[in-house]
Amino acid sequence: MRALINGNYAVSYAMMQINPDVCASYPITPQTQIIETFSKYVADGKVTTENILAESEHSAMSACIGASAAGARVFTATASQGLAYMIEVIYIAAGLRLPMTMVVGNRGIGAPLLLHCDYSDSFLARDSGWIQIYCKDVQEVYDTTLMAVKITEETKIPVMVMMDGFYTTHGEQVIDTLSTKQAVNFVGKKPKWPNMLDSKITFGNVSLTDSNIEVRERQWRDLANSSKSILGIQKGFEKFSKRNYGLYESYGLKDANTVFVTMGSSYQAIELTCQELRKKGKKVGCLRPRVYRPFPYNELRAELKGKKIIVLDRAISHGAEFGPMGLEFQGMGREFYNVVYGIGGRDFGLEEAKDLVGKFLKGKQKKFQFYGLRKDLKN
Amino acid sequence: MVKEIKKVDLGARILASESEEYQTGSWRKEIPVVKDKEEMNKHVEIALYCPEAAIVYVGGKYSHIDYKFCKGCGICANYLKKVIEMKRV
């Protein structure tokens, strides 16, 4: 079916089709619409989900952990300060290897108080042991939400699906949805995993100096290997939807001299700019990491070999030489530059993309810089 | 005594039955003593108050307190003040 829909509604629609066992959540801008719409589905009897409206994000995630440990298919959503409040239990969900799906509408973390998009919230959970997938548009968010359920149940690693706050959460777009029958068939019956109720298992045990590092190594190894499951599930999805997703998306990489790397919705502006410049004979390309954890280091290193790369960062690592994405890519390519842009939702559209790409094609640039700072604002 | 482990499962989970090897009875400074067994039969819910599930009922009738696991926390004695008494070990 074709539908004009925004990112938030697409997520709750996908979850309505799947009818998960438990949803425990707390509303926060820009993700509120997900909880709102999903709760309406519950109230209208469209789903039989146990909908827990928690008193905080910490409690919401804790309820998700308990439900998943009891063998339930679990879904939640959060953003920004909510994710920060949740962070302790986010680590626990991953450490206990409990399947669950969480959608994040990316919004920066205060102070100063802000509402708009940057990745400082989900980057906070970067090292927690979750699979992290960043989407560029509403179609991808819809598809990835469905795939996430399958990925998390196959890998026993919780999956976080990210979309840009307001750009994608509230931006409306025409998308192709699956029929509920198709969605249910694809996601499949919930597999049985060892749980508290049926298998008499104790979760949350102490693991001290005699075993902790081994448990962690296994967690690290399984996350690194999860890209195989992700690719397999994406292939299965492509078969009937005809929409294909990789660990990353790229344009013109093969013969490009200069490659712009960016995440989320701003990739669209960069890609359009590159396509235009290609027509003028400029050998430019662009790349968008989609799966950020596990990060496809080997593949990207091979793709970017000998190229000049400019990595755009919508987050800051205070005190570091580069931004978080820059740190991933440093050492790749022949020449490396890192640009921090769009912090706190400072707009980065086609105009800005053209300006930035033009700058780097024209002349010498600093290795690290902030893009788009106002000159008329004394600071 | 903690047994040395040779295998660790996903996320350090264990079978609930394995936790029986950790006998917490030695932590005890005070010991709960049941003064009235008949009264205990009227308060089956006390079994759920015990964090170590050390108050044993068989067929709905009070049987005994398992002192291998009772930590001596005193929750039961606080709930049933007239039936259970804490005594210094």
List for chain A the helix, strand, coil content (%; round to 5): 40, 20, 40
Which domains are assigned to chain B? 22-88 (3.30.70)
Neighbours of B23 (CB within 10 A): 14
Which of the pair, A124 or B52, is modelled with greater confidence?
Answer: A124
pLDDT digits (tens, 9 = 90+) for A151-161: 999 999 999 99
User: What CA dihedral angle connects A127, A82, A57 and A225, to 10 degrees?
Assistant: -20
Per-residue pLDDT, A193: 83
List for chain B the helix, strand, coil content (%; round to 5): 30, 25, 45
Please calculate the CA angle A105-A106-A112 and round it to the nearest 5 degrees. Answer: 125
pLDDT band at A323 (very low <50, low <70, confident <90, very high): very high
pLDDT of residue A281 exceeding 60, the answer is yes
Show the tokens assigned to A1.
């079916």
Residue of B nearest to A155 (CA): B10
Helix (H) or strand (E) holding B40: helix B37-41
Residues of each domain in chain A carrying CATH 3.40.50.920: 248-370
Determine contact, residues B76/B50, Cβ cutoff 8 Å: yes
Average pLDDT over residues A125-150: 98
What fold, for A248-370? Rossmann fold (3.40.50)
Which of A12, A23, A3, A30 minimizes the C-alpha distance to A265?
A30
Chain A nearest-CA distance from B41, in A, is 27
Residues of each domain in chain A carrying CATH 3.40.50.970: 2-241
Mean residue pLDDT across chain A: 97
Chain A nearest-CA distance from B6, in A, is 9
Q: Is B5 on the interface with A (CB under 8 A)?
A: yes
Determine contact, residues A173/A61, Cβ cutoff 8 Å: no
Per-residue pLDDT, B23: 86
pLDDT of residue B15 exceeding 90, the answer is no
pLDDT of residue A12 exceeding 70, the answer is yes
pLDDT digits (tens, 9 = 90+) for A17-36: 999 999 999 999 999 999 99
pLDDT of residue B2 exceeding 60, the answer is no
pLDDT of residue B1 exceeding 70, the answer is no
Contact A215 B8 (CB under 8 A): yes
pLDDT of residue A113 exceeding 80, the answer is yes
Q: Which of residues 18-47 of B touch A (CB under 8 A)?
A: 18-19
Per-residue pLDDT, A55: 97
Disruptive mutation site among B1, B5, B6, B10 for chain A (greatest number of A CBs within 10 Å): B10
Q: Is B14 on the interface with A (CB under 8 A)?
A: yes
Q: What is the DSSP letter of B28?
A: -
pLDDT digits (tens, 9 = 90+) for A47-93: 999 999 999 999 999 999 999 999 999 999 999 999 999 999 999 99
Which of A315, A313, A322, A311 minimizes the C-alpha distance to A286?
A311
pLDDT digits (tens, 9 = 90+) for B31-66: 999 999 999 999 999 999 999 899 999 999 999 999
Is the sign of the CA dihedral B66, B67, B70, B73 positive or negative? positive
Residue of A nearest to B17 (CA): A200
Average pLDDT over residues A12-18: 98
Residue of B nearest to A219 (CA): B11
Per-residue pLDDT, B3: 62
Q: Which of A98-107, A260-269, B24-33 has the lowest mean pLDDT?
A: B24-33
Chain B CB contacts of A218 under 8 Å are 8, 10
Chain A CB contacts of B20 under 8 Å are none
Show the tokens assigned to A345.
């939702």
List helix spans (H) across chain A: 7-18, 32-43, 57-69, 80-95, 120-124, 138-155, 180-187, 212-241, 266-279, 297-303, 324-329, 350-362
What predicted TM-score, i.e. pTM, was given to this entire model?
Answer: 0.91
Per-residue pLDDT, B19: 77
Q: Which of B4, B11, B16 sits opposite A97 (nearest CB)?
A: B11
pLDDT band at A199 (very low <50, low <70, confident <90, very high): confident
Contact A202 B13 (CB under 8 A): yes
What fold, for A2-241? Rossmann fold (3.40.50)
Per-residue pLDDT, B21: 80
pLDDT above 70 covers what percent of chain A? 100
pLDDT of residue B84 exceeding 80, the answer is yes
